[in-house]
Amino acid sequence: MNDNNKYLWMVIAGVLFVIGIEYLIARYKGLRVFRLQNTIANLSMGIFDRVAGLLMVPLIYMHFNFLYTHFAIFNIPETKYYFILAVIVSDFLWYFYHRAGHQINLFWGAHIIHHQSEDYNYTVALNLTPFQVVIRILVWSLMPIIGFSAKVVLATHLVIGLYQFLLHTTLIPKLGIIEKFMVTPSHHRVHHGSNEEYLDKNYGGIFIIWDRLFGTFQVEKNPVSYGITKDINTRNFIPSVFHYYSNLWFQTKQLPNLKEKIKLLFKGPDWIPESGALKLSNTYIDKGSYDYKNYSKSKTFYLVFSMVFTFLILAITAYIMTDISRIYVYALLSFIMLNLVIIGRLIENKSVLVLEIIKYIGLAFVFYKLYL
């Protein structure tokens, strides 16, 4: 397993610090950019993505390294400009990967989660799922075949990911001349808008020039309405992950033949088949009609505590995973996932007592076996 995971706690601490600063500034300015249900739903997805990342990144490195070792077309010298070139190539691929994620239903089902928050803040940057990783592996396999080493390919992902994280805020205004060639928070706010004029715009990761070249650029003019065009009627973790694929299954049953069923997977979300418009599942509700619940102070405290506790277990697991048996690694990651399910049920005021008992007894047993 990758020893670099030991330093995930530093990343978690840095990310939570930035989110905390944004929250305090927003409160000071009287801006309502954080709502508890949306924030917890976003952070839950981020934890899910990192749990998968702990297991998948070493495998992804092996895959890229195999392609680089056996199939590289060019031997690109690693000069001081090498990495800059790699980032530009990676960002070019990002544009088309990102655009496909919006325009192909099979891919949109993995990416829609990143767009479903009706608030826009740094927690949205974490609102990802590992299902997108499979698509990324396919697209970025081009780079080691061209001649970029595996470590460089993964490093470009880190650069783009960090840059993208910094874009997810309403607190940074337009940035003048920088808006001409770099993706800015203003550009990315447009990308997250459900306003009709903002749909399918500004796909760029670092450079906005790709959008300008390929006709998908849109400047921020009107106030942005965040989220998806139809909201989902839950902030519960499990249905939030799978709702779009569940809806695709619901819609395939409305189609008369196999050809149209397959076509549905590779068409865009706005596709209308010859047999007529498809109904949405009852997971979807009119935008703005989700019932944001008011919780007691004790329940709010417990929700926040549970989220912090989950981040803590994730950090501990990442730090010790190279030093303990895999069975304990998988057990700890399973408890993290169980806690995400519990938190999701708590948000919807559903019973969690049995699951909580299993979680705490299980965690106590694992740490007892590890350290006592």
pLDDT in tens, 105-143: 999 999 999 999 999 999 999 999 888 888 899 999 999
d(CA 43, CA 128): 9
Judged on CB neighbours under 10 Å (0-12, 13-18, 19+), 372 is: exposed
User: Could you tell me which residues come within 8 angstroms of residue 320 by beta carbon, excluding any fewer than 6 positions away?
Assistant: 370
User: Could you tell me which residues come within 8 angstroms of residue 278 by beta carbon, excluding any fewer than 6 positions away?
Assistant: 251, 254, 255, 264, 272
DSSP 8-state class, residue 68: H
pLDDT band at 4 (very low <50, low <70, confident <90, very high): low
Could you tell me where the DSSP H helices lie in the chain?
8-28, 36-71, 82-103, 105-111, 122-125, 131-140, 142-146, 150-167, 185-191, 209-214, 237-252, 258-266, 297-320, 326-347, 353-371
Tell whether the model's pLDDT for residue 1 goes beyond 50: no
Tell whether the model's pLDDT for residue 216 goes beyond 90: yes
User: Could you tell me which residues come within 8 angstroms of residue 273 by beta carbon, excluding any fewer than 6 positions away?
Assistant: 255, 260, 263, 264
Query: N- to C-terminal Cα distance for the chain?
Result: 24
Q: b vs e for 272-281, b when ≥16 Cβ sit within 10 Å of the residue's Cβ?
A: ebeeeebeee
Of the listed ranges 131-135, 184-188, 259-263, 269-273, the one predicted with least confidence: 131-135
Angle, in degrees to the nearest 10, between helices 353-371 and 326-347: 160
Specify whether the CB–CB gap between 118 and 229 falls below 8 A: no
Structure token digits, residue 320: 């010790």
pTM score of the predicted model = 0.93
- Whole-number percent of the chain with pLDDT over 70: 99
d(CA 288, CA 40): 18
DSSP 8-state class, residue 291: -
Check residues 93 and 322 and name the one with the higher pLDDT. Answer: 93
Structure token digits, residue 126: 């974490």
Tell whether the model's pLDDT for residue 6 goes beyond 80: no
Cα separations in angstroms, 128 against 47, 68, 111, 115: 9, 28, 7, 9
pLDDT band at 3 (very low <50, low <70, confident <90, very high): low
CA 82 to chain centre: 28
User: Could you tell me which residues come within 8 angstroms of residue 313 by beta carbon, excluding any fewer than 6 positions away?
Assistant: 332, 335, 336, 339, 363
Angle, in degrees to the nearest 10, between helices 150-167 and 82-103: 60
pLDDT at 105: 96
Mean pLDDT of 250-258: 94
d(CA 122, CA 165): 7
pLDDT at 274: 87
